[in-house]
A and B are shown apart, each in its own frame.
Chain A
Amino acid sequence: MSVSPAIVLDGLQFRWPGQSALCLDIPRLEIAAGEAVFLHGPSGSGKSTLLGILGGVAVPQAGRVNVLGNELTAMSSRARDRLRAAHIGFLFQQFNLLPWLSAIDNVLLPCTFSVERKARASRRHSLRDEAERLLTQLDLTMSHWLKPAAELSVGQQQRVAAARALIGRPELVIADEPTSALDAERQQIFIDLLLREVGQRSSVGDVALHGEISALRSARTALVFVSHDQRLASHFDRTIDLRTINLAVQADAATEPA
Chain B
Amino acid sequence: MSPIPLLRLAARSAWARRLTLGVTLVAIMLSTALLLCVERVRADARQSFTQSVSGVDLVVGARTGSVQLMLYAVFHAGAATNNVDWKSFEILSAHPAVEWALPLSLGDSHRGFAVLGTTPAYFERFSYGEHQSLKFRSGESFAKVFDAVVGSEVAAKLGYKVGDAITLSHGMGSANLLEHGDKPFQVVGILEVTGTPVDRTIHVGLEAITALHLDWVAGAPVKGLSIPQDFVSKFDLKPKEITAALIGLKRRSDVFRMQRFVNEFRGEPLLAVMPGVALDELWQTIGLVERTLFAVSVLVIIVGLAGLVATMLASLNERRRELAILRALGAGPGDIFIMLAAEGLLVTTLGAVLGAAMLAIVSTIFAPWLLEHLGVLLTPRLLSLSELYLFGGVIITGMLASLVPGWRAWRMSLADGLTPRT
* Chain B residues, CB < 8 A from A113: 1, 5, 329-331
Question: Considering the complex, which residues of chain B in the window 1-33 have a beta carbon less than 8 Å from any beta carbon of chain A?
Answer: 1, 5, 9, 12-13, 15-16
From B1, B9, B326, B419, contact of A52 by CB (8 A): B419
Complex formed: what's the CA distance from A86 to B418 in Å? 16
The contact size tier of chain A is: 20 to 34
A-B contact count (CB 8 A): 67
Question: Considering the complex, which residues of chain B in the window 317-342 have a beta carbon less than 8 Å from any beta carbon of chain A?
Answer: 321-322, 325-335
Asked if A51 lies at the interface with its beta carbon under 8 angstroms from chain B, I say: yes
B410 to chain A, nearest CB (A): 12
* Chain B residues, CB < 8 A from A84: 328-330
Complex formed: what's the CA distance from A84 to B329 in Å? 7
In the complex the two chains form, is B330's CB within 8 Å of A86's CB?
Answer: yes
Asked if A188 lies at the interface with its beta carbon under 8 angstroms from chain B, I say: no
Asked if B417 lies at the interface with its beta carbon under 8 angstroms from chain A, I say: yes
From A51, A77, A97, A112, contact of B1 by CB (8 A): A112
Residues of B within 8 A of A (CB): 1, 5, 9, 12-13, 15-16, 321-322, 325-335, 417-419
In the complex the two chains form, is B419's CB within 8 Å of A100's CB?
Answer: no
With a 10 A CB-CB cut-off, give which of A57, A78, A110 has the most chain B CB atoms.
A57
A169 to chain B, nearest CB (A): 15
In the complex the two chains form, is B328's CB within 8 Å of A92's CB?
Answer: yes
From B1, B9, B15, B417, contact of A57 by CB (8 A): B417
* Chain A residues, CB < 8 A from B1: 85, 112-114
Complex formed: what's the CA distance from A58 to B414 in Å? 9
B205 to chain A, nearest CB (A): 78
- Give 21 A-B contacts (CB < 8 Å), ordered by A residue: A48-B418, A48-B419, A52-B419, A78-B334, A81-B330, A81-B332, A84-B328, A85-B329, A90-B328, A90-B329, A90-B418, A92-B325, A92-B418, A95-B321, A97-B325, A98-B322, A100-B13, A100-B15, A100-B16, A113-B5, A176-B419
Complex formed: what's the CA distance from A81 to B333 in Å? 9
B225 to chain A, nearest CB (A): 92
* Chain B residues, CB < 8 A from A233: none
Complex formed: what's the CA distance from A109 to B327 in Å? 12
Nearest-neighbor residue (CB-CB) of B5 within chain A: A112
Asked if A96 lies at the interface with its beta carbon under 8 angstroms from chain B, I say: yes
Asked if A55 lies at the interface with its beta carbon under 8 angstroms from chain B, I say: yes
Residues of A within 8 A of B (CB): 48, 51-52, 55, 57-58, 77-78, 81-82, 84-86, 90, 92, 95-101, 109-110, 112-114, 176
In the complex the two chains form, is B329's CB within 8 Å of A58's CB?
Answer: no
Nearest-neighbor residue (CB-CB) of B9 within chain A: A112
Nearest-neighbor residue (CB-CB) of B328 within chain A: A90
Complex formed: what's the CA distance from A51 to B332 in Å? 16
* Chain B residues, CB < 8 A from A176: 419
Given contacts A99-B16, A100-B13, A100-B15, contact A57 B418 (CB under 8 A): yes
In the complex the two chains form, is A77's CB within 8 Å of B332's CB?
Answer: yes
Nearest-neighbor residue (CB-CB) of B1 within chain A: A113
In the complex the two chains form, is B12's CB within 8 Å of A57's CB?
Answer: no
In the complex the two chains form, is A100's CB within 8 Å of B330's CB?
Answer: no
* Chain A residues, CB < 8 A from B322: 98
Closest 4 CB pairs of A and B: A85-B330, A100-B16, A113-B330, A90-B328
* Chain A residues, CB < 8 A from B332: 77-78, 81
From A78, A95, A98, A110, contact of B13 by CB (8 A): A98
Complex formed: what's the CA distance from A185 to B315 in Å? 36
Complex formed: what's the CA distance from A78 to B334 in Å? 9
Nearest-neighbor residue (CB-CB) of B4 within chain A: A112
Nearest-neighbor residue (CB-CB) of B13 within chain A: A100
Nearest-neighbor residue (CB-CB) of A52 within chain B: B417
* Chain B residues, CB < 8 A from A81: 330-332, 335
Complex formed: what's the CA distance from A192 to B255 in Å? 98
* Chain B residues, CB < 8 A from A96: 325
A3 to chain B, nearest CB (A): 22
* Chain A residues, CB < 8 A from B327: 57
Complex formed: what's the CA distance from A92 to B321 in Å? 11
Complex formed: what's the CA distance from A176 to B419 in Å? 10
In the complex the two chains form, is A58's CB within 8 Å of B5's CB?
Answer: no
* Chain A residues, CB < 8 A from B417: 48, 52, 55, 57-58
With a 10 A CB-CB cut-off, give which of A82, A90, A98 has the most chain B CB atoms.
A98
In the complex the two chains form, is A82's CB within 8 Å of B12's CB?
Answer: no
* Chain A residues, CB < 8 A from B329: 84-85, 90, 109-110, 113
